Amino acid sequence: MNGGGVAVILVATDEGPLLLAAIESLFESAPERLGGVVVVDNASTDGTGEEVARRWRAVRVLRRSRRHRLPANLNVGVAVTAAPYVLVCNPDVTFLPGAVDRLAAFLDAHPRAGVAGPKLLTPRGETWRSARRWYDVRALLALRWPGTADPAASPWARRSLYPDWDLCAPRHVDWVPCPATMVRRAALAEVGGFDERFRAYFEDVDLCLRLHEAAWEIWCVPEAEVVHLWRLASRSPLSAAWFLHLESLVRFVCKHRGLAPREERPDHRGGAAAQHHEALAVHSWSAR
**How far is 181 from 10, CA to CA, in rounded Å?**
11
- List pLDDT tens digits, range 187-216: 999 999 997 775 666 677 889 988 999 999
> Other CB atoms closer than 10 Å to residue 77's CB: what's the count?
25
- If phi > 0 it is left, if psi is from -120 to 50 it is alpha, else beta; for residue 98 that is left
- CATH numbers and ranges of domains, the chain: 6-275 (3.90.550.10)
pLDDT class of 243 with cuts at 50, 70, 90: low
State percent of the chain over pLDDT 90: 56
The full length of the chain comes to 288
pLDDT in tens, 48-104: 999 999 999 999 999 999 998 888 999 999 999 999 999 999 999 999 999 999 999
243-271: buried (b, 16+ CB within 10 Å) or exposed (e) per residue? ebbeebbebbeeebeebbbeebbeeeeee
Give residues with Cβ within 8 angstroms of 268, minimum separation 6.
none
Question: Does the structure show a pLDDT above 50 at 171?
Answer: yes
Q: What is the pLDDT of residues 22-36, one digit of tens each?
A: 999 999 999 999 999
pTM of the model: 0.80
Q: How confident is the model at residue 287 (pLDDT cuts 50, 70, 90)?
A: very low
Question: In this structure, are residues 2 and 31 in contact, taking their beta carbons and an 8 Å threshold?
Answer: no
pLDDT at 1 over 60: no
Residues 6+ apart with CB under 8 A from 160: 132, 133, 134, 135, 136, 139, 143, 279
Nearby residues of 49 by Cβ (< 8 Å), 6 or more positions away: 39, 41, 61, 63
Q: Is the pLDDT of residue 285 over 60?
A: no
Residue 202 pLDDT = 60
**Residue that wins the pLDDT comparison between 245 and 134:** 134
Using the predicted structure, report yes or no on whether residue 155 has a pLDDT greater than 90.
no
